[in-house]
Structure 1
């Protein structure tokens, strides 16, 4: 029996709590189409242990973007990304599945489980930073929000929500926003320096390289493709959003592109639709 039909299915406990019905349906579809070992890890340590014991089986993760990112990060740190393709069944709120959607994973338990069984392993690029953290989609360093004096001290929760909203937005030249002063280098070529305010920076992997865009305050954009991108900021550092994770503040960070570093099982181009699954 091929690895594609010997599965280890890692079900994130958050997915089970949020949408147990989708988890059940995905499990039924996978077990009907392959020899599947179902794992119910209770915490990150259990998850890592189950992943380490996967053997030669194809790994299917059931959960959201954080689940996929955790899996790829664990395999990267063990230098095991080349040991087989991953598949994903996305379960969670829509805003927690933006990365999976962008990568081409079907939205829906039945469709995604069918692809995990019958899809094609596609090699994908990623970025690795100088702390050995991976980025599967893109990272953004948005413009700073304007500073306002509040009528009352903000709560910690309110401040956290404001930070996340700022980091989620794509960089755009907004007159009211305070610009960053960032030094951006692509393979040693200077794209922006600390004396030139910018509205934001985005970096994504593609075509085996890091695709970087520096957004100017008046709408201009500087683009480059490089193997390594280094961003440095002022003494206070800068924050960034990489996939579903908010990082920083850091004074400097370098991201290096890794071409075809991992494989994700995606729909077969032109494949006929399967018979609908009946729960």
Structure 2
């Protein structure tokens, strides 16, 4: 069997717990079409070790968006993203595979597994920050709500108190809009400074550039394209793909055009 048909299939622990049937279906389809070595990591460290020991086998991740971002980050930090295409079979709780769908990966186990076997590698951009972290598609500052809620240790009581206040006090008739003091620079050009509060900032990598949108409270959004974006200000958190990161005081993201490959259905 030729080298491209040699697969290392890493099945994320969350996928195994949340939807064992989809995992089984994907595994059966892959094993029927290629020589497969299965890895069942229980921790991020075991996940990293399995990926590092893939040899000449093509890596396939069965898991959610977090598993995909973890794999891309590991390959980036190992300077191995250019070695070959990464493949994904999205499996996870509801709302946890939105990134995979946005990238064009089929969300059904059978269709996704067949795309791994018969699809084609497509080059995609990547955002890399100044701490060597990666953003596969986009980020938002501040972090904001998401279907993948993150509750920080020690914040449970704050959440409970907030819920109680909501239950015993009528909701305001006009929604409160929070603003944030952030300095936003795109290729050195200042789009917003600390004395001009904004509702939020989004950055999306597409077509070899970063599409930056700054939303002032009392003005139209500012939209530009850039190769590097720096955001700074009071300690803030941001949502990068499916993960919340921070707090940080400043962070710079640089676009790496066509930095990695993902196997997608053939056109």
What's the TM-score, normalizing by structure 1? 0.84
Deviations 1:102-145 (A, max 9, x none): 11110111010000000010000010111110000110014989
* Alignment partners' CA distance in 2, 1:257 and 1:29: 35
Provide closer, same or farther for how the CA distance between residues 160 and 224 of structure 1 changes in structure 2, counting only shifts above 3 A.
Answer: farther
3-state SS in 2 of match to 1:114: helix
Contact kept? 2:62, 2:88, Cα under 8 Å: yes
Show the counterpart of 1:97.
97
For residues 213 and 125 of structure 2, the distance between their equivalents in structure 1, rounded to whole angstroms, comes to 18
Aligned equivalents of 2:257, 2:183: Cα separation in 1? 25
**SS state of the match for residue 72, structure 2?**
helix
SS state at 1:28 partner = helix
Distance 2:110 2:79 in 1: 31
Rounded to whole Å, the distance in 1 between the matches of 2:23 and 2:144 is 39
| Partner in structure 1 of residue 40 of structure 2 | 40
Give 3-state SS (helix, strand or coil) of 2:261's partner: strand
* Cα displacement (A) at 1:49: 1.3
> What runs of 5+ residues in structure 2 fail to find an aligned partner?
146-153, 163-173
> Residues 103-182 of structure 1: matches in 2 within 5 Å?
103-142=103-142, 156-157=155-156, 159=158, 176-182=176-182
Q: Matched residue of 2:56: which SS?
A: coil
Distance 1:79 1:160 in 2: 40
Q: Please give the per-residue CA displacement for 1:27-67, whole angstroms capped at 9, x wherever unaligned.
A: 10000011111111222222111111111211110000111
2:12 equivalent to 1:12 = yes
Listed as ranges, the matches of 1:1-279 within 5 Å are 1-142=1-142, 156-157=155-156, 159=158, 176-218=176-218, 220-234=220-234, 237-269=235-267
Q: Which moved more, 1:216-225 or 1:239-248?
A: 216-225
Q: Which string of whole-angstrom CA distances, capped at 9 and with x for unpartnered residues, describes residues 150-169 of structure 1?
A: xxxxx82364698xxxxxxx
Q: Mind listing any 5+ residue stretches in structure 1 that lack a counterpart? A: 146-154, 163-173, 270-279
SS state at 1:241 partner: strand
Count of aligned pairs: 247
Aligned-pair distance for 1:218?
3.1
- State the 1:251 CA deviation: 1.1
Partner of 1:151: none
- How far is 1:175 from its partner? 6.2
The CA distance in 1 between the partners of 2:175 and 2:259, in whole Å, is 40
Q: 1:18 to 1:228 in 2, by over 3 A?
A: same
Using the alignment, how far apart are the partners of 2:3 and 2:25 within structure 1? 22
1:144 and 1:11 map into 2 onto residues whose CA distance is: 29
Q: Which runs of 4 or more aligned residues in structure 1 lie more than 4 Å from their structure 2 counterparts after TM superposition?
A: 158-162
Alpha-carbon distance between aligned partners in 2 of 1:50 and 1:258, rounded to the nearest angstrom: 26
SS in 2 for 1:37: strand
Deviations 1:143-191 (A, max 9, x none): 989xxxxxxxxx82364698xxxxxxxxxxx962121111100010111
Q: Which secondary structure state, in structure 2, belongs to the residue aligned with residue 94 of structure 1? A: coil
CA RMSD of aligned residues (A): 2.0
Change (3 A) 1:98 1:36: same
TM-score scaled by structure 2? 0.87
